[in-house]
Amino acid sequence: MAHSPRRPVNPMDAAEALFKPVAKKLVVPVREAPVVPHAKELVSLRIDRAVLEHFQEGGPGWQDRINDVLRQAVLGKA
Q: Is residue 78 part of a domain?
A: yes
Q: Is residue 63 part of a domain?
A: yes
What does pTM read for this prediction? 0.52
Q: Is residue 67 part of a domain?
A: yes
Count Cα neighbours of 22 within 13 Å in the Cβ-side half-sphere: 1
Residue 55 binned pLDDT confidence (cut-offs 50, 70, 90):
very high
Q: Is residue 71 part of a domain?
A: yes
Q: Is residue 28 part of a domain?
A: no
3-state helix, strand, coil in the chain (%, to 5): 40, 0, 60
Number of structural domains the chain divides into: 1
60-78 as b/e, with b when 16 or more CB fall inside 10 Å? eeeeeebeeeeeeeeeeee
pLDDT digits (tens, 9 = 90+) for 34-53: 678 778 888 899 999 999 99
